[in-house]
Structure 1
Amino acid sequence: MKQVTKINVLKKFTGIAWVEQAIANLDLILLDHSHCELKAASTALNFMFRYPAHTRLVRELTRLAQEELEHYELVNQWLERRGIPLAPLNAPPYGATLKAQMRRQEPDRLLDSLLIASLIEARSHERLGLLAAHCPDPELAKFYHGLMASEARHYGVYWLLADSYFDRDVLEKRLDELAIVESEILVNLYPEPRVHS
């Protein structure tokens, strides 16, 4: 299997089973990718509503939300090209299981929220890289390759925000704990093809 650059925060690398499942179900992966981009924009907006006094967070996530919506539109153009209608999908346990780890009291909630968002973006970067490396459609592979850098940047935005609001030692300890949970969620392949399954 072709490898992509490992994101240091991830504890385990995605295996060949996910790649094979994704490539065999590209239309479903594209539809799920559309959902992921919209959720990512919503996540950024939710941060802005919850923490309006955090000026740097609002500024950074305004740009990020705009970019996620641009990606949503680009993915939807691919859906239209391939004749895939927008439709609801069952969510894999990935996001809900990660969010269940979130502590409820501030400032712990802010730290956990930023780190969970960072982990999701890091995994997105890795998986889009695998799609770019293995997709049999050269144009779609090029599209995924083009999105990889954005996902890495988004991971970095959330990590840097966490680093600006919290002590580095506290951040790294909690990130390590959450990254272990993140990798454990993906040990068993979700039976329905998803970007995060």
Structure 2
Amino acid sequence: MTALLPDKTVASIRWLAAPTSWSWLEQANSNLINLLIDHAHCERKAAGSAVQMMFRYLCEPGLAEVLSPIAQEELEHFDQVLALVKKRGRYLEPLQSPEYGAKLAKSIRKGEPNRMLDSFLVAGLIEARSHERMALLAEHCEDQELRCLYSSLLTSEARHFGQYWLLCEQRWDRALVTARLEELAIIEVEALTGSLQNPSDVRMHSVGVEPIS
């Protein structure tokens, strides 16, 4: 599991080229309701992404059997997070999204089968970053109820990016998958590089990573 170290550095997980910065965690703790609302949006988008890929590759053997349960679980998480948002007197308000998802989407190549490979890897990278940041919140969130929430989601988040990896390995040579993952992981870090001018704009995937070593 990703953990915050005593010297305020963050241990990374295998998929990610650089860990989340301490500043992101501080911003998150200072704006937990906005983060929670954004998290609900993220779960909704993750479900939609899985469904979109399932229908794009409708006749791909073994794909729907993996993506349908992912989509259903993401919607369960959406319901769970939305209930907490409503409990705190808020609702699923529109929030300005960071450029993270759009930048990763632009990195997906157009022609097949490269498009399928990149789609799986980008989805997996987003799940991996979500897992990493949820692990930080599970360990260090100042709100006990949210610490419990994020602790409860870690297993499924880890399983999701593992499933996207397996979808790749079942269809392409491991060396090819690993090489492309390394390229996309650099793009993922670039999408999170920078500083947040307004801390209240913190999102689950807003900027805040350590430099690539």
With normalisation by structure 2, the TM-score equals 0.89
Q: Residue 17 of structure 1 contacts residue 189 of structure 1 at CA under 8 Å; is this kept in 2?
A: no
Q: 1:136 aligns with which of 142, 157, 167?
A: 142
Residue pairs, 1:101-140, within 5 angstroms = 101-140=107-146
Cα RMSD after superposing both structures: 1.3
Spell out, residue by residue over 1:77-98, the C-alpha distance to the aligned partner (whole angstroms, 9 max, x if none). 1101111121111110100001
1:163 paired with 2:169, answer yes
| Alpha-carbon distance in structure 1 between the residues aligned to 2:47 and 2:69 | 10
> Could you tell me which residue of structure 1 aligns to residue 193 of structure 2?
187
> Could you tell me which residue of structure 1 aligns to residue 4 of structure 2?
2
Residue 103 of structure 1 deviates from its aligned partner by: 0.5
Higher helix share: 1
Q: 1:14 aligns with which of 15, 20, 33?
A: 20
Q: Secondary structure at the match of 1:56?
A: coil
Q: 1:57 aligns with which of 40, 63, 68?
A: 63
Structure 2 gaps of 5+ residues are: 207-213
Amino acid at match of 1:162: C
Residue 5 of structure 1 deviates from its aligned partner by: 6.1
Amino acid at match of 1:19: L
Q: Residue 4 of structure 2 contacts residue 11 of structure 2 at CA under 8 Å; is this kept in 1?
A: no
| Alpha-carbon distance in structure 2 between the residues aligned to 1:84 and 1:23 | 17
Equivalenced residue count is 197
Q: Residue 40 of structure 1 contacts residue 65 of structure 1 at CA under 8 Å; is this kept in 2?
A: yes
Structure 1 gaps of 5+ residues are: none
Runs of 4+ in 1 over 2 A off after TM superposition: 1-6
Q: Secondary structure at the match of 1:165?
A: coil
Spell out, residue by residue over 1:98-125, the C-alpha distance to the aligned partner (whole angstroms, 9 max, x if none). 1111100000000000000000000000
| Alpha-carbon distance in structure 2 between the residues aligned to 1:189 and 1:155 | 27
Residue 62 of structure 1 deviates from its aligned partner by: 0.6
| Alpha-carbon distance in structure 2 between the residues aligned to 1:6 and 1:21 | 19
With normalisation by structure 1, the TM-score equals 0.96
1:76 paired with 2:85, answer no
Amino acid at match of 1:109: R
